[in-house]
């Protein structure tokens, strides 16, 4: 067995906020989403974060994302890459980037592990000079997404499954590996390694981390984060909700379904 690796959740761990919102804004600029659809996704995302997740909600998330992608041209998603990076890269936490590069300097490869698409995961991992990424795969046919997920869906237990498969292929020792996340939903990912680290943890993860003696990195206050997120959603609702309700739009059916792709990444 080789030495271990380091695995990093993306949203609210490597970066502030959600990569799904960056995806949504670029999709709006590209004409694939309306302001109303972005607001709907933002509200659903916030509700999901406050309520937590279950196996049932994971299945629902997978199905919703699949329905959103069905019929979308793969090249249209890939072409959003540069715009997405302009949103994501300024949000990357310097503390986490330094942590990842320290692992590389110590001989441990570093990977992003996210429920976002494999294409987005690869895009961000390449920009950050990581060694790779584990994202959600979606079946493609004739240059379009079919809407069928490729197992494992990298959310909750699916993240741990993907990490074990990579470790088996590459010869990584998971007991000597590290994993970083902010959320209770990533407990399977954190428990898959010998060195779990809670990063700006939510209440449930913070409790588990203290009970099990895990390392905790805290450089952003959760309460402030929720106030900022709530204020942003409220401002968006007040500023664009009424106008969006009056807009008459013509969009191809596959593009309209993208509104659900921003929910709960």
Name which of 115, 106, 113, 99 is nearest 217 in CA terms.
Answer: 99
Does pTM surpass 0.85? no
Distance in angstroms (rounded) separating the CA atoms of residues 70 and 261:
11
- Tens of pLDDT along 97-117? 999 999 999 999 999 999 888
Q: How far is CA 167 from CA 29, 152, 162, in A?
A: 39, 15, 9
Burial class (CB in 10 A: 0-12, 13-18, 19+), 220: middle
Asked if residue 248 belongs to a domain, the reply is yes
pLDDT at 209: 97
Could you tell me the two tokens for 91?
């949000």
pLDDT at 159: 96
Asked if residue 1 belongs to a domain, the reply is no
- Indicate if 11 belongs to the active site: yes
Bigger pLDDT: 145 vs 186? 186
Q: What range defines the domain where residue 257 resides?
A: 6-262
Report the CATH number at residue 116.
3.40.50.1000
- Tens of pLDDT along 178-222? 999 999 999 999 999 999 999 999 999 999 999 999 999 998 754
Q: Which of 11, 76, 186, 202 is catalytic?
A: 11
How many domains, in total, are found in the chain? 1
Asked if residue 150 belongs to a domain, the reply is yes
Distance in angstroms (rounded) separating the CA atoms of residues 212 and 155:
22
Burial class (CB in 10 A: 0-12, 13-18, 19+), 106: exposed
Q: Which of 9, 182, 186, 202 is catalytic?
A: 9
Q: In what order do the strands lie in the sheet with 215-217?
A: 144-150, 132-141, 110-117, 6-9, 178-181, 195-199, 215-217
- Indicate if 9 belongs to the active site: yes
């Amino acid at each position: 067995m080789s030495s271990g690796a380091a695995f990093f959740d993306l949203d609210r761990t490597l970066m502030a906020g959600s990569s799904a919102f960056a995806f949504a804004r670029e999709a709006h600029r590209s004409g694939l989403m309306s302001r109303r659809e972005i607001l709907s996704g933002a509200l659903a995302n916030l509700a999901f974060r406050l309520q937590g997740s279950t196996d049932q909600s994971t299945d629902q998330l997978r199905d919703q994302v699949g329905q959103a992608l069905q019929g979308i041209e793969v090249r249209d998603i890939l072409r959003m890459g540069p715009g997405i990076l302009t949103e994501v890269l300024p949000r990357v936490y310097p503390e986490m980037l330094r942590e990842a590069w320290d692992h590389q300097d110590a001989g441990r490869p570093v990977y992003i592990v996210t429920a976002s698409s494999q294409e987005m995961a690869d895009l961000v991992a390449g920009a950050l000079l990581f060694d790779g990424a584990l994202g959600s795969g979606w079946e493609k046919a004739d240059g379009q997404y079919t809407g069928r997920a490729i197992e494992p869906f990298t959310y909750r237990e699916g993240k741990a499954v993907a990490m074990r498969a990579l470790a088996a292929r590459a010869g990584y020792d998971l007991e000597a590996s590290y994993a970083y996340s902010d959320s209770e939903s990533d407990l399977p990912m954190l428990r898959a390694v010998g060195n779990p680290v809670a990063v700006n943890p939510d209440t449930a993860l913070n409790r588990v981390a203290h009970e099990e003696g895990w390392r905790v990195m805290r450089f952003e206050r959760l309460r402030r984060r929720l106030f900022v997120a709530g204020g942003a959603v409220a401002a968006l609702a007040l500023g664009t909700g009424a106008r969006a309700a009056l807009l008459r739009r013509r969009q191809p059916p596959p593009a309209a379904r993208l509104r659900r792709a921003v929910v709960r990444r």
